[in-house]
Chains A and B, each alone.
Chain A
Amino acid sequence: MNGGGEVSGQGPAGGAEALVGVVLVSHSGPVAESVAALAVGLAGGGAKAPVAAAGGTPDGGLGTSAELITEAAHRVDRGAGVALLVDLGSAVLTVKALIAEGDELPEGARLVDAPFVEGAVAAVVTASAGADLDAVAAAAGEAYGYRKE
C-alpha cells in the first residue's frame, strides 16, 4: 500500500459543472487512505467529488512524496481546482514548495489551511455539493473552530 489510491472519482454527475478535487496528503499511506475513506463515507451517498490519497513514500514508508502528491492532484483535477489538505511538517512544506516554485501541480491547485480529518470531511461534503474552491477551502478551514470541550 503506497497511499496513492483514489477513493471516489466519478467526477461531475450528469453534465453538471465540474467539481473541485480533494487530495489528502499524510506522512502515512494508511492514514491518507483511511481519512479519504472516512470523508467519503461521512459525506454519504452525496460524495461525488473526486478524492485521492497521497500518503507516505512510493516504497510504502513514512514521509512525503512530491511524486505521489502530483499524481493524485492530476487524478482529481476536473478543471475546477484542487484542494490539498496536509498533515504536518514536510507534507506542508512539500505542497507549499510545489505551489510556489513548480509547475508540476495542475492549475488551480491550492494548499488548504485546515485540520486534516475534520477539514477533509468538510472539503469532501462541500466539493460534492458543487461549491467552488474558495468555498471548499473556507469550509475546511472553519473546521478549526469546532471546539471539543
Chain B
Amino acid sequence: MSGTALDAAFFVGWMTAAAAAIDREAERLTELDSAIGDADHGTNMQRGFAAVVKVVEAEPPATPGAVLTTAGRQLISSVGGASGPLYGTLLRRTGKTLGDAAQVSAEELRAGLRAGVEAVGQLGGSAPGDKTMLDALVPAVEALAASFEAAAAAAEEGARSTVPMLAKKGRASYLGERSIGHQDPGATSSALLFAALAEVAK
C-alpha cells in the first residue's frame, strides 16, 4: 500500500462521498431491510450522513481524527436506529485511534479502522458469520493492506456473502431460517462506505 498522507480534507471528502453513495442507494437499502428488518435502514442512514456532511462541511475539523469523531457523534445522535450507535462507534473509535495527527498514512488508517471494527463487534456482541455489518467490515479492513480498491471489493464480496447466512443478531434474528436468502442491509451499507473511500482515494 502506498505511503500517501491523508489529511482532514480527505476525510471530509470520504464522508461526503459516503453520503452521496447512501443517497443513491437509499431505496435499495430500505428494500433489503424490509425483507428482514424494519424497513428504515435507507432513510436512517440518509438522515445520519446528511447530518454528518452538514456539520463537517460547515466547520471542517482540523484533523482526520476529529473529522471521524465528529461524524461518529452525529451518527449516534441523528440516526434513530441501531445503525446510528454501530456506525457512530465505528467512526468515533477509528477517529480516537488516529489521535490528533494532522495527516495519517493509509496504514495508520487501517489500524484505526481495525480498532473501530473491533468496537462495533464488542458493542453488538457479534462476530463475522452472524449476517451483520462485520461480514463486510472485517474483510475490508484486512484487504486495506493491499489497496483502497481491494478493500472496497472485499467489502462488496463480504456483503454478498451474507445472502445464504442465518441472521444471529437484531430484528432479523427473530426470523430464523427465513432470514436466509436475503442480503444484510448493514453489510450492504458498510460496502458503500468502503466504495466511497476507494472513490476519494483515486
Contacts and interface: CB of A to CB of B under 8 A. Distances in A.
Interface of A: 57, 61, 63-67, 89-90, 93-94, 96-98, 100-102
Interface string B137-163: 000000000000000000000000000
A101 B89 contact: yes
Contacts of A63: 40, 80-81
A61 B79 CA distance: 12
Contacts of A102: 73, 76, 92
Interface string B81-105: 1101110110011001000000000
Interface of B: 40, 72-73, 76-77, 80-82, 84-86, 88-89, 92-93, 96, 119, 123-124, 170-171
Nearest to B122: A100
11 contacts: A57-B80, A90-B82, A93-B86, A93-B123, A93-B124, A97-B76, A98-B85, A101-B72, A101-B76, A101-B93, A101-B96
Given A67-B77, A89-B171, A96 B123 contact: yes
A97 to B, nearest CB: 3
A101 B88 contact: yes
Nearest to A61: B80
Contacts of A100: 89, 119, 123
Contacts, number: 57
Contacts of A96: 85, 123
Contacts of B40: 63
A102 B119 CA distance: 13
A93 B171 CA distance: 13
B83 to A, nearest CB: 8
Contacts of A97: 76, 84-86, 88-89, 123
Nearest to B86: A93
A13 B72 CA distance: 40
Nearest to B87: A97
A90 B88 contact: no
Contacts of B86: 93, 97
B119 A90 contact: no
Contacts of B85: 66, 90, 93-94, 96-98
A27 to B, nearest CB: 9
B80 A65 contact: yes
Most buried by A among B81, B93, B119: B81
Contacts of B88: 97, 101
Contacts of A57: 80
B8 to A, nearest CB: 20
Nearest to A65: B80
B82 A89 contact: yes
B104 to A, nearest CB: 19
B170 A89 contact: yes
Contacts of B73: 102
A99 to B, nearest CB: 10
Nearest to B40: A63
B97 to A, nearest CB: 12
Contact of A90 (B72, B81, B89): B81
A102 B124 CA distance: 17
A57 B81 CA distance: 10
A96 B40 CA distance: 21
